Amino acid sequence: MAVRTPVYLDHHATTPMDPAVLEVLQRVQKDHFGNPASQGHSFGWAAQTLVENARHQVAQLVGAEDREIIFTSGATEANNLVLLGGAATSGKPCKIISTTLEHSSIAEPLTRLQEQGWDVVRIQSDLDGLIQPEDIEACLNDDQDHEVLMVSVIAAQNEIGTLQPLEQIGKLCRRRGVLFHSDAAQACGHVPIDAQAMNLDLVSISSHKIYGPKGVGALMVKRTHPPLPLAPLFFGGGQENGLRPGTLNVPGISAFGEACRLALKNRDEEVLRLRQLKDRFWHRLQEQLPGVYLNGAAEPRLPGNLNIRFDGIRSAQLLPRVSVLALSTGAACRSDEPGPSPVLMSLGLDSNQADSSVRIGLGRFTSQEDVDFAAERLIGAVEKLRQE
């Protein structure tokens, strides 16, 4: 089968919309333009029905109740709502425990809170890019200065793909009565996320990471009595339990729901296929290139993730030589920031090693032919650069 170029291998930045999801988006945009808050006529009722159906589909993906799903513009908004909305209800600076592996939509609000007097502790990962539960436990036990408000740990690291031990950390948080949040934007739909089994109180979810449209996501807020301490970031309506005002994006939400349904339906099969493709890619590189290394633990890892470095080759030199491949040097959210990736540096890599790293993200529509073509092009480009 002929390979269509360019070959897209940047699925951690975003994913193409699944055709079935696009069909839902277009149909709802065309046929169901009503406002779900308009409860006096059939247009509003139809829109509300679509929203609630999508709410159920999102809830199913993360093992939650339908009423625990709050729709947002994406995981970035959900993360900010958790941290800044949670802090707004505390009445005083407290402690938040997080990690050095977080996405910037967690890291930057934490820096803002730190500037306001909050005690922010960032747990360092080990050299494999994994957080050790005992480090979280030690920090939970050391709360003499500030009460611990929350623990926030990314589910799947967006550059190196390592999966964090949420279930073990959740047990620690539950025993201490501390809120547990996870930014699961990269994980949901690709690996199992079960809020109940993992003792998660808050989960951030993104549509465009699971073949849905951009501009929509969700925050799972565990239903408790009294409700979890969370304040809205902005105001102007009572939508989404008062936490996210504004007219709901019904087409986007409906398409997001369909993306969640497909992800849950196909997840096990897709995990197996992507792992096989990833292993094929990695083995070909290892067999034909000396001095190629994997950044982060081989397992547990997102099934379609490879983050690799090539001795003596800077990624800024390599990527223009393989422009037929859509690759990245790291997180899309910090692509305009100079310097090596802080996540890679936290693994013990020096700046040269971090600058020689490339992130490869395989996805639902990646074929074996795509993988073989990409491996051949990368091998050829690295060999030529080493000869120059």
Q: List pLDDT tens digits, range 350-382.
A: 999 999 999 999 999 999 999 999 999 999 999
Report whether pLDDT(334) > 60. no
Taking residues 300-309, report their average pLDDT.
98
Q: Is the pLDDT of residue 251 over 90?
A: yes
Homologous superfamily of 7-16+267-387 in CATH?
Answer: Aspartate Aminotransferase, domain 1 (3.90.1150.10)
Tokens coding 382: 């690295």
Cis peptide before 6 (omega within 30 of 0): yes
Comparing 226 with 184, which gets the higher pLDDT? 184
Residues of the chain with CATH 3.90.1150.10: 7-16+267-387
- Which of the following is catalytic: 173, 188, 260, 333? 333
According to DSSP, the residues that pair with 309 across neighbouring strands are 293, 357
Q: What confidence score (pLDDT) does residue 199 get?
A: 98
pLDDT, residue 164, reads: 98
Active site residue 333: yes
Averaged pLDDT for residues 224-253? 93
Q: pLDDT (tens digit, 9 = 90+) per residue, 183-204?
A: 999 999 999 999 999 999 999 9
pLDDT tens-place string over residues 32-47: 999 999 999 999 999 9
What is the separation, in whole angstroms, between the first and last Cα of the chain? 33
Write the pLDDT tens digit of every residue in 77-89: 999 999 999 999 9
- Closest by alpha carbon to 17, among 230, 215, 296, 313? 215
Residue 21, helix vs strand vs coil: helix
- Please, what is the angle between helix 250-288 and helix 368-387, to 10°? 50
Is the pLDDT confidence value at 331 over 90?
A: no
Q: What is the mean pLDDT of the chain?
A: 95
What pLDDT score does 222 carry?
Answer: 97
- What pLDDT does 340 receive? 85
pLDDT recorded at residue 131: 98
Average pLDDT over residues 108-123: 97
Instruction: Determine which helix (DSSP H) or strand (DSSP E) holds 151, and give its type and residue range.
Output: strand 148-152
CB atoms near residue 286 (< 10 Å): 13
Average pLDDT over residues 235-246: 93
pTM: 0.96
Residue range(s) occupied by CATH 3.40.640.10 in the chain: 19-262
The C-alpha angle with vertex 376 and arms to 373 and 377, in degrees rounded to 5, equals 85
Fold of 19-262: Aspartate Aminotransferase; domain 2 (3.40.640)
